[in-house]
Structure 1
């Protein structure tokens, strides 16, 4: 991911040096298990562990691996060669009985696990902001829209509550996907444990608090990675749903809420008056990437026989980019939501802008329930007056009062056009989430 759309933590985590530190953790854990089983010398593991702690793998090591790989054309061979150069004789017991993918896939799972921990924290932060804003705007009236058209009254807080509920499902999916990749694979060249004991894999898994992959070939099955990308992509759709709503609310014709506009900020190089929803537009663009990464992740699942490397080049891009795009977009959107500029007066104005048309269903029900009209006849009365209100701008209530076929009294119309009647169940909805 380019620096513009990455976070410092994930940028560091997916660096070459960090990748090699993850590879070394896998190798050292395997050596520890093998030493406990008497398969490699105890002193070799202890010596290599001490040297690695005193002289951690760094960017200089990563550059050396790159130099060796330019000759060997094999990254793991370059890695083990560079380890021997750096740490000496004890490194000769590294990679004993393992195949390259045992190290690469298990280490990649380490990076994904840490990455998802960071992304989950970002989602939780967004959830907290949505909850706080839901409480703050619980009783702020606004107009609900369907198909982009005024529908019926609701509260602005309900939007945040809905987003909060969606984020809770995102957290469930992300946690499940994280658990799916918390597995260790150390099964050898085609998954038969011909040169490494299954107990090595099991001991490493126990050491980490993970699970041993129950069966593999030369790779860890890529449906696990597709599940991670799916959870990230679905979380992306949540962010886009929120971002698109804010972009609509910031439109000049609507102007019910907007992104905060900082001191010194410029909205346009040519139009000084502009305040554009650039942050949420940016989020929308990044979520498109997340969906694209999922498509590639799904195509990585079917591989030839016990392994090919068609997935490898793609994963070097899509896995670090997906978690970084998700984290960056989440932090950006959380900041937008936290500092959102809200205009309750404008919401009320827009709610009343169509002369009471948003109360049409209550009128319809009173005609049916209180006056005994058939549904078709009642609908015809309300729709006839509503369409006239659309065309002329006259208030629906005034038109109904003038309609000789409308039997509703002034008292009845007071009930029909009561805003609070529409909002009377808001407290009940909030109680479902333990909010008052």
Structure 2
């Protein structure tokens, strides 16, 4: 989301009258060098290319390394800097968008995954029907909370190191937390309840929701407010200055500069309001949205209620009807609001560009800046052109996401579904390992992985595995009754309660 670059073409103070006939608009240098604020990233990109980000953006050493590139294979060993970054957002525009980095980067994603995993373990400790996770002491809760609150770059690099082994980003977070808690006398007793009954998307969808929520509230909406305030001040400061209107590019009835600016302030304000009111949703219903593993392990717990309490405790609205994924309809609405905001901004950019072209506005020159390599007199409106271009690029990406994310491919063929189930006994690995977690069996996930991954799993092999488990007889008997046909969690109840839920959402019965 490149809003930071998109709205960056206006440089005004909120207390200063900005545009009058022949008003000087100060052209800013978008291309100055800058240092990275979020540094110490280090990764190995490929066998022939190594990269890292350090505090300095350009160094003589990095220039020397670039000069040693092989003409044959273009291999290079070079520091990542504003000159070597592949994306302009991480290069020349970094200074415009760096405030988004704590939330929208991979570091931000990992940090929010850690937060969700920890909050879920704390939630489990508060459920009376789960005695295997007793309520934590104040010291243990503080220890867990600090793992999230004090999560730093070194921690994120440790997660990435684990991921190089697991080749699974969410599992790497789980293993990281287990490592950090294995020496704690209290938390070490419940390590297997990290990621309990969760699918990766339970963690990811909430992490993404928190990323968007924080980025909106702390960066995007404040930037929009600053822009709208600046244009409002332009409108009031120039409310009485007359100017010729133009329709179809031709002279038309006079207006005032202030009124033309007020139009943009009003339009942008409406889109800003629409964006701020977009409800951010989350799910926490397991691998296919039915609480399957939850109900096998703890059939007496009201898991839909627990999930709703957990999701809303994060400041996110709860979506009760999901598959493995949250449908992302809210993301489509959110991205479309940003697209429309950017469209209005493009209209503003083009109008101001036109006023400059007509000579109605002038840009303030700055000593040392050059407008053209051959025409010394030029002061080009590059900020407005740059804003227009970046809005277009941002809108292209946002448009793709708003149409791609909400679409799922599957349709129902009941006969095929039954055949699928008959040949899919490996799906019972999830409830078995979840019950094993409940009763403290060491490394339940890893044991089921050894049994099922890349192997043909049959009813007989599953039964043999269950029979060997050191768990209570009643739990073993319950697992032995499970089949792929019966392991549907709360799916039946969720479907039957749809009319009630829809009524609550809409305020009236609609079915």
Q: CA offset at residue 74 of structure 1?
A: 1.2
Find the counterpart in structure 2 of residue 4 from structure 1: 92
Cα deviations across residues 310-357 of structure 1 (Å, max 9, x unaligned)? xxxxxxxxxxxxxxxxxxxxxxxxxxxxxxxxxxxxxxxxxxxxxxxx
Give yes or no for contact 2:112–2:210 (8 Å, CA) kept in 1.
yes
Q: Does 1:131 align with 2:236?
A: no
Give the Å deviation of 1:3: 4.1
Over alpha carbons, which structure has the higher Rg?
Answer: 1
**Separation (CA, whole Å) in 1 of partners of 2:322 and 2:142:** 28
Report if the CA contact (8 A) 2:245-2:252 is conserved. yes
Matches of 1:41 and 1:170, distance apart in 2: 47
* 1:191 counterpart SS class: coil
1:236 is aligned to 342
Is the CA contact (8 Å cut-off) linking 1:187 and 1:201 kept in structure 2? yes
| 8 Å Cα contact 1:35/1:41 also seen in 2 | yes
Distance apart, 1:278 and its partner CA: 0.5
- CA deviation after TM superposition for structure 1 residue 304, in Å: 3.2
- Structure 2 CA distance for partners of 1:138 and 1:58, relative to 1, 3 Å: same
Q: 1:19 to 1:294 in 2, by over 3 A?
A: closer
Q: CA deviation at 1:249?
A: 1.0
In the superposition, relative to structure 1, how do residues 45 and 24 fare at CA in structure 2: closer, same or farther (>3 Å)? farther
Distance (whole Å) between structure 2 residues aligned to residue 201 and residue 160 of structure 1? 47
Given that residues 34 and 200 in structure 1 are in contact (C-alpha distance below 8 angstroms), is that contact kept between their aligned partners in structure 2? no
Alignment check: 8 A CA contact 1:185 1:220 kept: yes
Tell me by how many angstroms 1:44 deviates.
8.2
| Match status 1:106 vs 2:194 | no
| Contact 1:17–1:57 (Cα < 8 Å) also in 2 | no
Instruction: Supply the distance in 2 between the matched residues of 1:158 and 1:7 (Cα, whole angstroms).
Output: 31
The 5 Å alignment of 1:22-421 reads 22-38=112-128, 39=130, 40-43=133-136, 47=140, 49-53=142-146, 56-88=150-182, 89=188, 91-117=191-217, 118-177=219-278, 179=279, 181=280, 183-196=281-294, 197-251=303-357, 254-297=358-401, 298-305=403-410
Q: Is the 8 A contact 2:237 2:258 kept in 1?
A: yes
What root-mean-square deviation, in Å, do the aligned CA atoms of Structure 1 and Structure 2 show? 2.1
Instruction: Determine if contact 1:69/1:78 at 8 Å carries over to the other structure.
Output: yes
The answer as to whether partners of 1:243 and 1:280 remain within 8 angstroms in 2 is: yes
Q: What corresponds to 1:403 in structure 2?
A: none
Indicate the larger mover: 202-211 or 240-249: 202-211
Aligned length: 301
Measure how far apart 1:107 and its partner are: 0.9
TM-score, normalised with respect to structure 1: 0.65
In the superposition, relative to structure 1, how do residues 291 and 8 fare at CA in structure 2: closer, same or farther (>3 Å)? closer
2:166 and 2:410 mapped to 1: Cα distance?
A: 25
- Residues 91 and 17 (structure 1), Cα distance of their counterparts in 2 relative to 1, 3 Å cut: farther
Question: Larger % of helix: which?
Answer: 1
Q: Extract unaligned runs of 5+ from structure 1.
A: 307-436
Cα distance in 1 for partners of 2:265, 2:399 equals: 27
Give 3-state SS (helix, strand or coil) of 2:377's partner. Answer: coil
1:15 aligns with 2:105: yes
* Alpha-carbon spacing, 1:214–1:57, altered in 2? closer, same or farther (3 Å): same
- The separation in 2 between residues aligned to 1:44 and 1:105, in whole angstroms, is 29
The separation in 2 between residues aligned to 1:49 and 1:18, in whole angstroms, is 21
